[in-house]
Amino acid sequence: MGRIKKQVKKFRQKLELPFVRFGLTLIPRLPRWAVLGTARALGNLGYGCSARTRRLGLTNLDLAFGDSKTRMEKKRILRESLRNFALVMLDLLWFSRNSVARMDRWFEATPRLQEALAVRKARVGVTGHFGNWELTGRYWALRAGSLMSVAMPVKNLSVDALLQDAREKNGQQIIAREGALKKLVRCLREGGTVGLLLDQNTAPDQGGVFADFFGKPVAVSPAAGLLASMTGAEIFVAFTLPCPDGRYSGDLPYVISPAEIAAIDRARVAEEITRRITTFYEELIRARPECWLWTYKRWRYIPKELRKPDSNDGFPYYADRPPLEPITP
């Protein structure tokens, strides 16, 4: 059985590269209405055809909202979330062609976002898998002149190279996690902008700290607070939300100034800033839940003091749990 799975995986990876190359050729040439329709169809297909995806997404929605939302509401949110994810991926390709003109036509930034990025200074920009995070990075890079960000590579390295090239065409500099800290610090000390995704799992043994998120702890990277405290940079949280007509709206509703960061005890500044940002991020998701990526295993890690060998701990089925203790005779 394991051998068959490996063969299927290998065959699928061989198909991925020509499929992405075809997309890079076709998608940027489609009219806007066709991109929107394709995203909607792909999202519906993903919801209807993958029981695993539905189980994961609905489990996360149950954890986040409990009985405050009906089953039908949660299904609607998940379906729209998958449509949004499909549009993010398609628009990564679509905005790679005539990028500046398309950004001018289809992206509207609030005055505070425009003003913030018009002045060059050291900033740590934080966003997540909310709205169109790829377009958020594209706008930052275009308006700030450059952007350095850390990205997790996709498993198919050939496909990853094509996607990274699509991101870097607009001025983004994508770096790997390994050895990233030194490069990010240098960028900030030179007055640059660093972009971070807040809602990726960072294992506790790799520096992750636990922050409350929808009533349950999640492992979060403290990189934003750490970098800002080391360099005197400003932290801002920004996002890009889709509009019904195919446009996007970008905003920057939350800023933590260098003075606020300096006032926090240095021993706990990274954790304090991380928890503050996570709380604000949750508020954004509650306001527009259909725009968040619910099919990510966000509650994967469990704090040691809450770990139990069974599933009666309130964490989802996919969370890492210790094995049962062996029974001694």
Amino acid in the structure at residue 52: R
Find the domain containing 202 and state its range: 2-303
Residue 318 domain flag: no
Total structural domains in the chain? 1
pTM of the model: 0.87
- At residue 143, the pLDDT reads 82
Please tell me the distance from the alpha carbon of residue 170 to that of residue 281, in angstroms, as a whole number: 26
Please tell me the distance from the alpha carbon of residue 278 to that of residue 130, in angstroms, as a whole number: 13
Q: How far is CA 60 from CA 84, 87, 287, 303, 319, in A?
A: 17, 21, 16, 18, 11
Q: Are 236 and 252 in contact (CB under 8 A)?
A: yes
Whose CA is closest to 221, among 297, 321, 128, 136? 128
Please tell me the distance from the alpha carbon of residue 120 to that of residue 225, in angstroms, as a whole number: 20
Residue 105 domain flag: yes
Residue 310 domain flag: no
Complete edge-to-edge strand list for the sheet that includes strand 147-150: 107-109, 248-256, 234-242, 123-127, 193-197, 147-150, 172-175
**Measured between alpha carbons, how far apart are the two ends of the chain, in Å?**
35
- At residue 118, the pLDDT reads 82
Residue 319 domain flag: no
The pair phi, psi for residue 26, each rounded to 5°, is -85, -50
- At residue 55, the pLDDT reads 97
Q: Is 69 left (phi over 0), alpha (psi -120 to 50) or beta?
A: beta
Beta-bridge partners for 242: 248
- At residue 8, the pLDDT reads 44
Which pLDDT tens digit goes with each residue over 230-245?
A: 999 999 999 999 999 9
- At residue 161, the pLDDT reads 67
Please tell me the distance from the alpha carbon of residue 179 to that of residue 173, in angstroms, as a whole number: 14
Contacts of 184 by beta carbon, 8 Å cutoff, 6+ apart: 148, 150, 175, 194, 223, 227
Residue 72 domain flag: yes
Residue 321 domain flag: no
Spans of the chain, pLDDT less than 70: 1-17, 19, 152-171, 309-312, 322-329
- At residue 3, the pLDDT reads 55
Q: Are 182 and 226 in contact (CB under 8 A)?
A: no
Residue 323 domain flag: no
Give Rg (Cα) of the chain: 20
Residue 276 domain flag: yes
- At residue 307, the pLDDT reads 79
